[in-house]
Amino acid sequence: MTGDALEIIRQEVENNPVVLYMKGSPDFPQCGFSAQAAEALKICGVPFKAVNVFEDEEVYRQGVKLYANWPTIPQLFVKGELVGGSDIIIDLYKSGELQTMLQEAADAA
């Protein structure tokens, strides 16, 4: 793991209002948790950057876990801050908080 990997992730989360690190893509998720997280974000209708952690194992699959100090994928960042993984994303979606959070991030961008 290099500092370059963490710098790449830092730039992504700081330069994009909403970033989802996931296994696969929103249209072709490669695990159930990533599928649920991406679907919740898509339903909210706010643009987000999705990063397939399989595209670069060193940078994304391992680097994002170190960057966020969070052991699992998917990981959602909003306005540069880690929101959490699949369970948290789904809980926020069900409560209506995710829509508000995402809309505020999009409006501020």
Residues 75 and 85 sit within 8 Å (Cβ to Cβ)? yes
Ordered by start, the domain boundaries in the chain are 3-108
- For 57-101, the pLDDT digits (tens) are 878 878 998 999 999 999 999 999 999 999 999 999 999 999 999
**Side-chain half-sphere CA neighbours of 46 within 13 A:** 22
pTM over 0.85: yes
- For 22-69, the pLDDT digits (tens) are 999 999 999 999 999 999 999 999 999 999 999 988 788 789 989 999
Which homologous superfamily does the CATH classification assign to the domain defined by 3-108?
A: Glutaredoxin (3.40.30.10)
